[in-house]
Structure 1
Amino acid sequence: MAHGDSAPDGDTRFDTQVYAQRLARAAQLTGAAGLDAIVVGTGPDLRYLTGMTADTFERLTALVIPAVGAPRLVTPRLELAAVRDSAIPDLDVTVRDWVDGADPYALALAGLEENSVLAVSDSLPALHLVPLADRLQAPLRLATPVLRELRMIKDDAELAALRTAGAAIDRVHARMGQWLRPGRTEAAVAADIAAAIVAEGHTEAAFVIVGSGPNGADPHHEHSERVIGADDIVVIDIGGPLPIGYNSDCTRTYCFAEPPAEVAQAYAALERAQAASVAAVRPGATAESIDAAGRTLLQEAGLGEHFIHRTGHGIGLSVHEEPYIVAGNTDVLRPGMVFSVEPGVYLPGRWGARIEDIVIVTDDGAEPVNTRPHGLTRLEDDSR
């Protein structure tokens, strides 16, 4: 178990007090939202609140957090090992285990009136949602307003984990010249990168995008058997979770030869746009204003139509979570929010480029957790 707020490398959860504070805050927000209780299924929300990692299949595992009173965990008896590995044994959480043939939904709703106002986490499967709804007279609500408020503002333990993740993925990018070379396939390069991601402290490579030449114009291209060419522009977008569960995500763009003037000019505009969006990050700014800061510069450079996705997404226990940095999102930024800033330029059938950092909203601006150079990085081409 970790000591204090931070988690040593290799640890899978934080100190118990971190989870105790989160559960207390969850109960407070539940009451403030006019709810009697929330039901949290397995996944990132449950891990956030208890440190427990488990999967829900046909058997219900759920954490019930009432506005008043102690939380309780309903879980199949065969999942008790996962409970023991979490912070739950040290928390004020009642565990109600059950065996096949029992009614876990009755256990989940015990102590609640039939007309209780109940909200559920948005990932709870319909397999469990419907039986819960059948037992209540009032319609179920989504617990998203409670859970998003909790998870969107990172505490000190989470920020430390995200900084560690950012430094680890930066070390992988720093070694890119070892693997990324003309004549190799994208898939071969991706396999080497994936191994390096694990070697640098991640539990797995959650994603490895190696987009060379025209494949770089597809933002969600992964990798293929395409042979990388000496004149290619190559987008490398990589990341994964640490043992504690928090994720890295960083994109840099590489080349092997002096790029054509058109590419160099477009990339310079992209670099200015990414810097402008990072510079706009501060408490009180809106999420959409960060998107607009960089997008406006790309539009002025005649590249607006080639920036085809939002500027960023929140990150934590999930690679993509709130807040989303996109036009129309008027959420006001607050210290402790963490998200990507990743504008891109994509020329279909030709080439693409993206620059991505994860940034923390501080009291007076932004703290990037990724510090690798942002320019179009030229690697040595041994084939020339």
Structure 2
Amino acid sequence: MYLDRLNNLKKLIEKEKVGGVLVSSVANITYLIGYANFSKEERDCYLLVSQKEQMLVTHSLLALELKGIDHGFKVMELTARSKFKNIFLSFIKRHSIKKLGIEEEDLRVSEFKRFSGFFKNLVGINLEELRILKEEDEEEKIKKACEIGDLAFENVLQKLKVGVSEKEIAWELEKFVRGEGAELSFRSIVAFGKNSAIPHHQTDLMDFGVKYKNYCSDMTRTVIYGSASKKQKEIYEVVKGAQEKAVGFVRLHSGSAVSDENKKIKIIKLADVDKAAREFILKSGYSSIPHSLGHGIGIEVHERPHVSPRSSEILEKGMVFSIEPGIYLPAGRHGIEDFGGVRIEDLFYFDGKSLVELTHSKKELIELK
């Protein structure tokens, strides 16, 4: 598995016409070697990769542990004598590298200045494309993270009542997830009118995710305290319908995606998936979604592909992404005091024929009375 990923990186190096690459982002290092216990703030590991050599450079505390992992990288330990500059320049010279690829969106300015002081010909390349299409093992881990998220949501519904605070709900989510052997993939967003206690007839938007074996889930549900008004029900159904419209668009256009006769692949643009949901909301009389319809997910909560009006990406087998339409109303609009918003978010996997839903928490309007 990791050898295939390394080979794909080397193909990208060839495609970008560079002699090698310096991998700095925690997400890409995790993807390439299967180890995630790094500090993004301390920057305690880099990968140096050429067509003939792959090297992991780290400090002594991690070196011993990383040497015991079968990842195919030579582990170089930083010491007083073996400084990064020496290792870096030796690598450049050994492989006669004229241009070196870097993750320019990940490197800090200070790091870029430091590396360009060693070697001038640094070229920005995007390594995130390596992670767009998920392998079966990755899909299973995301699926498991989603299952834990579904259970956590079901559990927290039992705790929701008038008077409970956002912090209490966020803690209940985290406590349950940790009890299942996982962790939250990001700080949970539990939002209702006041930040202290839930008022009656108020929407509560819960956006949270689970991380299981380095892979993330993401889900949003909106519940209403008390009996929903006619307008609240209408808005909720519009949002739900927008998600169904996007999913239906893919199913409609991917049913004949591959013909047995000529093997021609029908192209589905992710921008058109976004458009299907966005137009549904507009035709229902509400403002356009103020954010992208969805995002890819995997080792990071937000990664490629992008499901947005500006996306140039096409739907491919192995993609996992969210579909999360929403309607957000300022206080006082439509006669609803402090209404807030409604968003429904689920994760989907494209198996080459249709979208497979990975999150399964109920989507019917939940009224807590």
Closer, same or farther: CA 35–276 of 1 in aligned 2, 3 Å: same
Does 1:317 pair with 2:299?
yes
Deviation at 1:238, TM superposition (A): 1.1
Structure 1 residues 358 and 59, CA gap change in structure 2 (3 angstroms): closer
- Structure 1 residue 60: Cα displacement: 5.7
Of 305, 312, 316 in structure 2, the residue corresponding to residue 334 of structure 1 is 316
Which amino acid in structure 2 is aligned with residue 95 of structure 1? V
For residues 248 and 309 of structure 1, what CA distance do their matches in structure 2 show?
19
The 3 A distance-change label for structure 1 pair 81 and 228 is farther
Aligned residue number for residue 270 of structure 1:
239
1:255-288 CA deviation, whole Å, 9 max, x = no partner?
Answer: 2332111111111111100111122335731121
Q: 1:108 matched to which residue of 2? A: 88
Q: Deviations over 1:42-82 (max 9, x none)?
A: 4111000002232255676211111x202111222232144
Contact 2:201 2:224 (8 Å CA) reproduced: yes
Q: Tell me, which stretches of 5 or more residues in structure 1 are unaligned?
A: 1-17, 216-223
Match of 1:371 among 314, 338, 360: 360
Alignment pair present for 1:61 and 2:45: yes
SS of equivalent residue, structure 1 residue 345 = strand
Contact 2:174–2:183 under 8 Å retained in 1? no
Q: Which residue number in structure 2 is paired with residue 8 of structure 1?
A: none
Q: Is the 8 A contact 2:18 2:100 kept in 1?
A: yes
Look up the match of 1:194. Answer: 174
- Correspondences of 1:287-298 after superposition (within 5 Å): 287-298=270-281
Q: How does 1:122-201 map to 2 (within 5 A)?
A: 122-138=105-121, 140-144=122-126, 147-201=127-181
Amino acid at match of 2:189: I
Per the TM alignment, residue 373 of structure 1 is displaced from its structure 2 partner at its CA by 2.0
Task: Determine the C-alpha separation between the residues in 1 that align with 2:184 and 2:243.
Answer: 28
Return the offset for 1:101.
5.5
Letter in 1 for 2:206: I
1:74 and 1:98 in contact (8 A); partners too:
yes
Report sequence identity in percent.
25
Aligned to 1:355: 344
Query: Partner residue of 2:335?
Result: none
2:225 is matched with which residue: 246, 253, 256?
A: 256
Task: Kindly indicate whether the alpha-carbon contact (under 8 Å) linking 1:194 and 1:205 is maintained by their aligned counterparts in 2.
Answer: no
How far apart, in 2, do the equivalents of 1:72 and 1:41 lie?
12
Alpha carbons of 1:58 and 1:91: their partners in 2 closer, same or farther (altered >3 Å)?
A: closer
Letter in 1 for 2:153: H
User: What is aligned with 2:199?
Assistant: 229
Closer, same or farther in 2 for the Cα pair 1:309/1:167, shift >3 Å?
Answer: same
User: Is 2:46–2:56's contact at 8 Å kept on the other side of the alignment?
Assistant: yes
1:240 to 186, 202, 210: 210
Q: 1:106 to 1:143 in 2, by over 3 A?
A: farther
Partner of 1:52: 35
The structure-2 alpha-carbon separation of the partners of 1:374 and 1:119, relative to structure 1 and needing over 3 Å to count, comes to same
Structure 1 residue 312 displacement after superposition? 0.9
Alignment partner of 1:92 out of 57, 61, 72: 72
Deviation beyond 6 Å, 4+ runs, structure 1: none
- Cα shift at 1:204: 3.6
On the 8 A contact 2:185/2:217 being kept in 1, the answer is: no
Letter in 1 for 2:46: A
TM-score of the aligned structures, taking structure 2 as reference length: 0.87
Distance 1:256 1:60 in 2: 47
Q: Which of 21, 25, 48 is the equivalent residue of 2:4?
A: 21
- Shift in Å, 1:115: 5.9
Of stretches 256-265 and 197-206 in structure 1, the one that deviates more from structure 2 is 197-206
Gaps of 5+ in 2: 258-266, 332-337
**Contact 1:279–1:365 (8 Å) recurs in 2:** no
Find the counterpart in structure 2 of residue 218 from structure 1: none
Kept after mapping to 2: 8 A contact 1:74/1:95: yes
